[in-house]
Chain A
Amino acid sequence: MSRLPTWLWAAALAVYAFLYIPLAVVVLFSFNDSMLNAEWVGFTTGWYVKLLHDADMLRAAGNSVLIALVSSSVATLLGAMAGLAMHRYRPRWLPFLVLTPVAMPEILLGVSLLLFFRQVLDLTLGLVSILIAHVSFSIGFIAVIVRARLAGMDESIFEAARDLGATPWATFRRITLPLILPALLAGFLMAFTLSIDDFVITFFVAGVGVNTLPLQIYSMIKVAVTPEVNAVSTLLMALTLTLIILASRIAPDLLRTRA
């Protein structure tokens, strides 16, 4: 490999700085022993301790984890089915239907889901409406991951299983499922991070009374960006990062550009 020119290094560094300095500042000030995000006073973990005693915050975090777990489980199941169907039957319309919510602007999805829940279903907004919304935007990601996994496989192994005496169900259980398991786990973790970080869609469909972590942070910064917000943001960041790393370890092809 040839040496890159200095200016290219500088440009790359500038871009990374632009991306990561704001995040680093948040992490840094979450340990700052001062009410203001202005100057460094001293190191403390006090804000994290304060978080642990904030009942609203804990309730919001509980909601977020619950919604993320349930919605990504349901989305994994449905997305896997969609991915399998897209691979096996190659329907022309299914990829379009499944992937549109992924490409749709979130605010549009939020507004339309809100209208759908209120005007069509006459549903009381709350946990259930948030769950449905999160499932709907996660399915597409999982379907794509599962389909990519299947596309890389020798088609004849599924016929071989049938040929060697396996019923369609046994073929799925013994061959298909173990082979797509990494994709399912990676997809689940992706959906989990999407769900736990989502603000826009959740904001529209949450209604009153149910808060998630991002909504709670938003309501707090309406007053001021307190170090407590920094602390909860840092935790959220750490969780997201861990899940993404885990997902990419389970299915290394996931983070590559080539599907």
Chain B
Amino acid sequence: MPLLELRNLTRRFGSLEAVKDVSLAIEAGEFFTLLGPSGCGKTTILRMIAGFDAPDGGDILLDGVSLAGVPPEKRPLHTVFQSYALFPHMSVAGNIAFPLEMSGKSAPEIRRRVGEALELVHLTDKADRFPHELSGGQKQRVALARGLVNKPRLLLLDEPLGALDAKLRVEMQSELIALQREVGIGFVFVTHSQQEALALSHRIAVMRDGRVEQCDEPDKLYTQPANRFVADFVGRINLIEVTVTSSSKVLLGLQSPRLGDIAATDLRPIAVGERGVFALRPELVRVHGHKESADLKNRFQGRVRALLYLGDVTHYTVELADGMVLEALMPNAAPGRAKFHEVGDAVWVCWRHDAGVFLRD
């Protein structure tokens, strides 16, 4: 039995359907992420799980038991809010002790567990500080400790890294993974950052307009997106309009009206004449100065229109013969040379026949 199950969950705000028929199952100990642009319904789902909002249809089950009508304080799950929501009039220790006090734990036990929680988030020396005396990262850790101290079945996190600066965010991501593995509590994480979702999660549900578009492990989501939206939302990608010209077992022949023939592979049965997009990740596209070195199956001539030198990689925008633009990401691994090509250079782009995915419309 899954730890948490959402069954045909629906929520309407007036005429707006914020959540439409969402069904998901989250396992014990899983780091599960709801990913989507703002307004996709991910936070609404989180609020319904926490009990701040009630679904208009469907059900939420914890250990197979419906949570309908159960007030937030009676649900064995805690939330880490985007704003941290620390109690300003209580010290760090007071904040962390709060859930233990509410569940009627004895004073010695509260003291012991607050100590443990402070240790878990490396804030033992800040126990007597007040929230306004802490940095953003420290507040974040207090909020996590407060959410975990009473050992909930599930921890809900609403964009908890959103308010941190970029460097701190990366640090907190590693801490969050370590923390989740250590406590073994299921996490339901809400974010609009695909990078964060890929880095942290066991599984990700990509949402759009109140629906789940795809629910998969990060690598599957990235390499085998279910549709154009997922492909485009998760990571950078080239999308090329194509028609299927041939299909035999594994090999797939595609034709782009602007680019010409593209060789691809697909295990699914696909009919000749089907239309869709060919989705190709920039890091699978090679850029070469000579035709001979561009020795992969799909090869096209073009010119470098723009480039972004990022240190570890260079991001090329290559304009192909008929004005079509392709993005390519090349590692700057060759010692001694910063860049391989300059803006205006004539180049060849190429990719393996199994590099991209065909997505039906």
Contacts and interface: CB of A to CB of B under 8 A. Distances in A.
Interface of A: 153-154, 156-157, 159-167, 170, 174-175, 178-179
Contacts of B81: 156, 159-160
Nearest to A162: B72
B86 A165 contact: no
A163 B102 contact: no
Nearest to B143: A160
A172 to B, nearest CB: 13
Size class of the contact patch on chain B = 20 to 34
B300 interface: no
Contact of B102 (A153, A154, A157, A170): A170
Contacts, number: 60
Interface in B80-105: 81-83, 85-89, 98-99, 102-103
A178 B89 contact: yes
Chain B interface main SS type: loop
A164 B78 CA distance: 6
B307 to A, nearest CB: 44
22 contacts: A156-B83, A156-B85, A157-B87, A159-B50, A159-B72, A160-B79, A162-B51, A162-B71, A162-B73, A163-B50, A163-B51, A163-B78, A164-B78, A164-B102, A164-B147, A164-B150, A165-B150, A166-B102, A167-B73, A174-B98, A175-B87, A179-B89
Contacts of A161: 87, 98
Contact of B86 (A157, A159, A166, A174): A157
Interface string B48-65: 001110000000000000
Given A157-B85, A164-B99, 10 more contacts: A153-B88, A154-B83, A156-B85, A159-B81, A160-B79, A160-B86, A161-B98, A163-B52, A164-B147, A165-B103
Nearest to B99: A164
A185 B325 CA distance: 67
B153 interface: no
A153 B89 CA distance: 12
Q: Which 6 residue pairs across A and B have the least CB separation, nearest first?
A: A165-B102, A160-B85, A164-B99, A156-B85, A162-B72, A156-B81
A184 to B, nearest CB: 14
B99 A159 contact: no
A90 to B, nearest CB: 16
Interface in B142-175: 146-147, 150
A161 B102 CA distance: 9
Contacts of B88: 153, 157, 179
Nearest to B156: A163
Contacts of B99: 164-165
Nearest to B47: A159
Nearest to B86: A157
- Residue among A157, A159, A164, A175 facing the most chain B CB atoms (10 A cut-off): A164
A154 B85 contact: yes
Contacts of A163: 50-52, 72-73, 78-79
B105 to A, nearest CB: 10
A174 B81 CA distance: 19
B25 to A, nearest CB: 23
Interface in B124-147: 146-147
Nearest to A158: B85
A153, A161, A165, A166: which has the most chain B beta carbons within 10 Å? A165
A178 B88 CA distance: 10
Contacts of A174: 98
Contacts of B79: 159-160, 163
Nearest to B98: A164
A166 B75 CA distance: 11
B80 to A, nearest CB: 9
Contacts of B52: 159, 162-163
Contacts of A153: 88
A163 B85 CA distance: 11
Contacts of B86: 157, 160
A164 B82 CA distance: 15
B73 A166 contact: yes
Interface in B322-349: none
Contacts of B85: 154, 156-157, 159-160
Contacts of B73: 162-167
A145 to B, nearest CB: 18
A233 to B, nearest CB: 40
A170 B73 CA distance: 10
A16 B210 CA distance: 63
A191 to B, nearest CB: 24
Contacts of B103: 165
A162 B98 CA distance: 11
Contacts of B51: 162-163
A127 B75 CA distance: 51
A157 B90 CA distance: 12
Nearest to A170: B102
Nearest to B94: A174
Nearest to B77: A163
